Structure 1
Amino acid sequence: MLFRNFSDFFPEAGTDEAGRGCLAGPVTAAAVILPEDFTLDLLNDSKQLSEKTREKLKPIIEQEAISYKVIHLEPIIIDKINILNASIKAMQECIVNLNPTPKYIIVDGNRFKPINNIPHSCIVKGDSKYLSIAAASVLAKTHRDEYMDRIHEEFPMYNWKKNKGYPTAEHREAILKYGVTKYHRMSFRLLPEQLKLEF
């Protein structure tokens, strides 16, 4: 059973990101403010849910949330400011786009930078403890998966529809064979050390 709130403040927003460890595609963040009486039995950390369950939960969260925002930050920004800063920036951008402005923020993980003087707490495994972070994790994951499905149509040889840009053996073999695209993160180790790619 997930907790409704961490603080005594309302509204409280939960935020999370998806795609941090990928070789291609954006890092995607979501922030969600849920009603105080919100309940949703199936809701949990998106990594613990099947794709079918996540897809079922997405419209319910979007319909019932007081406010939510999803942001994609592209590889060019990830390469410029690094993946940790890009993840934080994406979450911050989501927060500032919420209406009403949250009075407190709970963040999945252990790193965040304050935004607009709103107090916050970082919660390790927060997406399996608090409803709003779990909801944000579902939205971040489903919206990012949709994005990867779209760019798969452009570059089907990398099979992003299946691997979503993660460093699978199949994805790395495709990089070795076909090279890189505008969606690849050039600051990441795209291939193991023994396999060098000519850029």
Structure 2
Amino acid sequence: MTSTAPTLEHELALAAAGGHRFIGAADEVGRGSLAGPVSVGYVVIDPDASPQLPGVRDSKLLSAALRHELVPAIKDWAASWGVGHASAAEIDALGLVPALRLAGLRAATFAHGVQEADAVLLDGNLDWLSATAQPTLLDSLVPGFGATQDIDGLQIPVHTLIKGDLLALSIAAASILAKVERDALMDGYDVSYPAYGWIRNKGYGTAAHRAGIAEHGACEYHRKTWQLTPKVPGKNIESGGEGKTP
């Protein structure tokens, strides 16, 4: 894994290639967790006018203390920023990819700041952020089309970038915002449900977490369509699997 600091190279390239000025960036946290939401961090920047952010890396490479220290600087640096969540119940109802799309839409729609992006860089190789259908001229004539409840994702260009959280400064910044906010949620849930050890595991499938589920059962914050405890040999379990992508 590279230790090189992320840069604005990819943001500048996207802006130049597409004739864009403002570039958005998004990254998710919690995709493989057994409990809690999937969370999406989102920032919008003008890469031509944005300075380097010292210390910003992929959130997984930073300590919790350093992530918290960087949050105010990231919010000041971005023209707009937001974090959106889709709950465990929404993941169960919609499936993982649609829930990610919903969390990303919430992050962008309710972002702090008035600047909208012209295009977005998304970490990974799967575009889960774009709307699944784009409006047509006929759609625009239908009263109510384009209302929030009718849109399931972003309707601006989305460009995926493999290892984007390591390469692109804006994606790394978004990953930190998402990680800090989701961790705080899981710490809060731990107050009501301490048996699962969420302060330590943040909802991921550690042995202690699974032991807590086996002893106490699943709670309201668990993804109940997922395989929460190890399969028993010879027993048919019909629930969804960890990391399932409906």
**TM-score range for the pair, normalised by the shorter chain length:** over 0.9
Q: 1:27 aligns with which of 10, 32, 38?
A: 38
Unaligned runs of 5+ in 2: 132-152, 238-246
User: For residue 191 of structure 1, what is the aligned residue in structure 2?
Assistant: 229
Give runs of aligned pairs for residues 34-49 of structure 1, distance below 5 A: 34-35=45-46, 36-49=49-62
Name the SS for the 1:20 alignment partner. Answer: coil
Q: 2:163 aligns with which of 116, 125, 140?
A: 125
2:42–2:108 CA contact under 8 A, matched in 1: yes
Q: 2:14 aligns with which of 7, 12, 20?
A: 7
Alpha-carbon shift at residue 116 of structure 1 (Å): 4.8
User: For residue 60 of structure 1, what is the aligned residue in structure 2?
Assistant: 73
Name the SS for the 1:7 alignment partner. Answer: helix
2:124–2:162 CA contact under 8 A, matched in 1: yes
Normalising by structure 2, report the TM-score: 0.76
Q: Partner amino acid for 1:57?
A: L
Bigger shift: residues 79-88 or 90-99: 90-99
CA-atom RMSD, angstroms? Answer: 1.7
User: For residue 144 of structure 1, what is the aligned residue in structure 2?
Assistant: 182
Per the alignment, do residues 116 and 15 of structure 1 end up closer, same or farther by CA in structure 2, a change over 3 Å counting?
Answer: closer
Name the SS for the 1:59 alignment partner. Answer: helix
Q: How many residues of Structure 1 are paired with residues of Structure 2 in the alignment?
A: 197
User: For residue 78 of structure 1, what is the aligned residue in structure 2?
Assistant: 91
Normalising by structure 1, report the TM-score: 0.92
1:44-78 Cα deviation digits (max 9, x unpaired)? 11111111211111121123221101111111110
Point out the structure with max Rg over C-alpha.
2
Instruction: Tell me how far apart the structure 2 counterparts of residues 130 and 143 of structure 1 sit (CA, whole Å).
Output: 21
Instruction: Tell me how far apart the structure 1 counterparts of residues 34 and 155 of structure 2 sit (CA, whole Å).
Output: 33
Instruction: Tell me how far apart the structure 2 counterparts of residues 190 and 125 of structure 1 sit (CA, whole Å).
Output: 28
Structure 1 stretches of 4+ with a deviation exceeding 4 A read: none
1:116-156 Cα deviation digits (max 9, x unpaired)? 53112011110111111101100000000000010100111
Alpha-carbon shift at residue 92 of structure 1 (Å): 2.5
User: Percent identical across equivalent pairs?
Assistant: 36
Q: Partner amino acid for 2:35?
A: A
Instruction: Tell me how far apart the structure 2 counterparts of residues 91 and 127 of structure 1 sit (CA, whole Å).
Output: 16
